[in-house]
Amino acid sequence: MPGKPLTIGALARRLNVSTSALRFYEREGLLVPARRSASGYRLYPPGAEKTLLFIRRAQRLGFALSDIRLLLQAEGKGGAGSNVMDIAEQRFLDIERRLTEMLVLRHELEFFLEDLTDRVGRVAGGQAGRLYRDLLDRVCSHDGHRKAASPLTRLMQRLGCALAGAEREKVFAALRGRHLHIWRDDDGYSILFTGRDRGVEPALRQLAASEADCHAHVEPHVSEAEEGWLFQARGPNAFLFAQLFLALESAEA
């Protein structure tokens, strides 16, 4: 029922968190029960679910609990205020610095591998050169000086996706430009497509099914979530799915 208070167990189940985590957030002043029942159980207001989603998302983005507390306290006070905005902007700049470092490293590694391939090919002979060329193709996704494939094509090649061209375009059309949230899990990535667009679920399931026999990663899993549809990829190469969905969301995809 809309507006009905939630027990700590019900709130934990709805968002797949432990009751001990909710008690921890309560001790930290982040999540406050509205009242207790006659038998002493914590009762949370319906808005607690939204608050908890905000806390979890902020934690994934690297915000400290003290910063999250400040962000929550600023809510509903006519704007976050300059100090809260400074916290968020500083966190964004920190991420941009780290991202730039990795992009520069990837850029230089691509040219290093190409140079290494040429050197090994000249010194060690054909087979060793071909082995390094195969490595270069897998990492950098181009062959020699031919025109590089599109970012999405390279990603699908790296994933080893079995979708045929027409199927792939149909999947991409259903997912392209969709708003999503991505976060890192212990063993992979979770990608949340918000909303209930009917074309998203079959596209995600088709993509997951195409990867069922791939030995490079665990078969992806698609499930319904509170805010939309959740695509979960596991294993050391799950980051490729995160790259794929980010590329599809962008205007350049």
Report, as an integer, the average pLDDT of 41-65: 88
Domain 156-249, what fold?
Answer: Endonuclease I-creI (3.10.28)
86-118 burial, b at 16+ Cβ within 10 Å, e below that, comes to ebeeebeeeeeeeeeeeeeeeeeeeeebbeebe
**Taking the CA atoms of the chain, what radius of gyration do you get in angstroms?**
23
Q: Which residue has the tokens 């983005």?
A: 61
183 beta partners: 190
Of 136-140, 179-183, 239-243, give the range with the top mean pLDDT: 179-183
Residue 237: what pLDDT? 79
Position 106 pLDDT exceeds 60: yes
* DSSP letter, residue 62: T
pLDDT in tens, 150-178: 666 666 666 666 666 778 888 889 999 88
Q: Quick one: pLDDT at residue 229?
A: 93
- ∠ CA 221-223-226, rounded to 5°: 145
Give the side-chain half-sphere CA count within 13 A for 135.
18
Taking each helix axis from N to C end, the angle separating 19-27 and 48-60, rounded to the nearest 10 degrees, works out to: 90
CATH topology of domain 6-76: Multidrug-efflux Transporter Regulator; Chain: A; Domain 2 (1.10.1660)
Judged against a pLDDT cut of 90, whether residue 231 lies above it is answered with yes
149 vs 108, higher pLDDT: 108
Q: Among 119-133, 168-182, 220-234, where is mean pLDDT lowest?
A: 119-133
Residue 204 has pLDDT above 90, yes or no: yes
> How many Å apart are CA 31 and CA 122, to the nearest integer?
64
How confident is the model over 45-70, as a mean pLDDT? 88
Question: pTM for the full model?
Answer: 0.62
Q: Where are the domains of the chain?
A: 6-76, 81-148, 156-249
